[in-house]
Amino acid sequence: MSEFKKSTTSRREFLKNTGRVAAASALAGVAIPHVHAAENHTIQLALIGCGGRGTGAVANALSVKRGPTKLVAMADVFDGRLKASFEHLKSQFGAKVDVPEDRKFIGFDAYKKAMDCLQPGDIAIFTTPPAFRWVHFGYAIEKGLHVFMEKPVTVDGPTSRRMLKQAEQAQAKNLKVAVGLMSRHSRALQELQKRVSDGQLGEIILMRGYRMSGPIGAFSSLPNTSNLSELLYQIQRFHSFLWASGGAFSDFYIHHIDHLCWMKNAWPIKAQALGGRHYRQSPEGIPYVDQNFDSYTVEYVFADGCRLIMNGRCVAGAHQIYSSYLQGSKGMAIASKSGDCGLPSSIYSSQTPDPRHLVWESKVPPEERDPYQNEWNDLLDAIRDDKPYNEATRGIEASLVTSMGRMAAHTGQEITYEEMLNCEHEFAPDVDKLTMTSEAPLKAGPDGKYPVPQPGLVTKREY
């Protein structure tokens, strides 16, 4: 293995601080280094978090056509998940997956061991539940590694503030950072955003996002009757627990929130919301014990009065909508026709998507229709050409805005951007100290149920 070891804040203040990094480096007389891959031009990868999203991210990384990439280390807290990911990737990519047994690491410190197998200029991939993102990001910066991290990247105020500082540190070291908000790499949405910025829709008055489906992922959970410890059970079913993922709201709805704010080229200043728990037992009559609401509606308000309405629902048998829209003074646009960023995007001269009033519809060549692959192509181009590339701050802000809407629903209060950023409730303050024998950050009551949001009753924190 030795050859792999060579080597109280306001939003405005954070935005200003980001722009000071280059100037501060110059004043200190420190040249920002060109961080590049190994001399043989192979960029090595370490995967931290070997679930489906991590496995997919590696597949995209190994499919980049510009220059060689190789997976050399893997880390997880579940041995079976790591093995399944390795076998799938090895069968698909062969020699590009070079991960012998002594570079497969299990445990809460496995992330360090996996990144220790890389050289400066290689890439660490973070696809664990987002509670661990700041811990892993900090070590990558220390090691001089480029980063791909899945969304959301934060779930509360304290971790957002912490990661905004880390984003500055990464930029100062010229590290490239990608965030898995792949809608930003949809060629159709990129063209739509340009057209909206050029005024084709006139003044944007209202935006709407819908992710209304049946229950998915680990949205709901039953009491832990498995052989797993309470900590590992909550990590395995991270969608059910706010400390691990921000719950269903943060994990499921961030894509529409992010790309609609991008269309507006602004973040909202406040949010009000509602939500509720309707059907909280399994078909067998066993009560669910997770922290999620079944439905959410959030009204985000921008500085100019424009509204973004985000509707989310996880209820079996209810009407399903999964798309996003903009209403402007000159017409309307469909951002995502289906899914998080489904083709085509389109603009109409009316306020309804009447084909007779179609003004523009996206045309994307086949090789650029996959935004997941596009984001990896863009990241590798930035690394190999040493172009500025740091999506960390924007990813943190998108995560924070998402948390702002979630907190508004969970508390029944109007929540401003600054209030969310400065909220002192850190869901898992000692997540960097967890071991395989640690207690879980969230404790169940005597009835086996976990604390749930109580809008209007608990108003300063979410539970």
- The reply to whether 168 and 312 lie within a common domain is no
- The reply to whether 176 and 196 lie within a common domain is no
- The reply to whether 25 and 94 lie within a common domain is yes
290-323 pLDDT, tens digit per residue, is 999 999 999 999 999 999 999 999 999 999 999 9
Is the residue at 451 inside a domain?
no
- The reply to whether 164 and 285 lie within a common domain is no
Contact indicator for 256, 273 with CB cutoff of 8 Å = no
> How is residue 283 written in tokens?
């078909």
pLDDT tens for the 463 residues of the chain, in order: 433 433 344 433 433 444 443 333 333 333 344 444 445 689 999 999 999 999 999 999 999 999 899 999 999 999 999 999 999 999 999 999 999 999 999 999 999 999 999 999 999 999 999 999 999 999 999 999 999 999 999 999 999 999 999 999 999 999 999 999 999 999 999 999 999 999 999 999 999 999 999 999 999 999 999 999 999 999 999 999 999 999 999 999 999 999 999 999 999 999 999 999 887 888 888 899 999 999 999 999 999 999 999 999 999 999 999 999 999 999 999 999 999 999 999 999 999 999 999 999 999 999 999 999 999 999 999 999 999 999 999 999 999 999 999 999 999 999 999 999 999 999 999 999 999 999 999 998 888 889 999 999 999 999 9
Query: How many Cα atoms occupy the beta-carbon half-sphere of 144 within 13 Å?
Result: 15
The span from the CA of 396 to the CA of 416, in Å, is 16
Q: Which of 208, 299, 211, 284 is nearest to 248 (CA)?
A: 211
Contact indicator for 74, 4 with CB cutoff of 8 Å = no
Tell the residue number behind the tokens 């809460």, with chain if given: 108
- The reply to whether 291 and 406 lie within a common domain is yes
The span from the CA of 397 to the CA of 415, in Å, is 15
The span from the CA of 172 to the CA of 167, in Å, is 9
What is the arrangement of strands in the sheet containing 43-48, beginning at the earlier edge strand? 104-106, 69-76, 43-48, 123-126, 146-149, 177-179
- The reply to whether 208 and 310 lie within a common domain is yes
Q: What's the distance, CA 160 to chain centroid? A: 12
The span from the CA of 412 to the CA of 401, in Å, is 16
- The reply to whether 407 and 292 lie within a common domain is yes
The span from the CA of 287 to the CA of 194, in Å, is 48
DSSP-derived secondary structure for 225-293: -SSS-HHHHHHHTGGG-HHHHSHHHHHHHHHHHHHHHHHHTS--SEEEEEEE----B-TTSPBP-----
What is the domain range of residue 167?
A: 2-183+373-391
The span from the CA of 146 to the CA of 137, in Å, is 10
Contact indicator for 269, 182 with CB cutoff of 8 Å = no
**Distance of CA 245 to CAs 151, 277, 293, 448, Å?**
10, 18, 14, 20
- The reply to whether 161 and 219 lie within a common domain is no
Angle at 268 between CA 126 and CA 208, to 5 degrees: 85
What is the enclosing helix (H) or strand (E) of 191? Answer: helix 187-197
329-348 pLDDT, tens digit per residue, is 999 999 999 999 999 999 99
DSSP-derived secondary structure for 352-380: S--GGGEEEE----GGG--HHHHHHHHHH
Is the residue at 443 inside a domain?
no
What is the enclosing helix (H) or strand (E) of 110? Answer: helix 110-115
- The reply to whether 425 and 293 lie within a common domain is yes
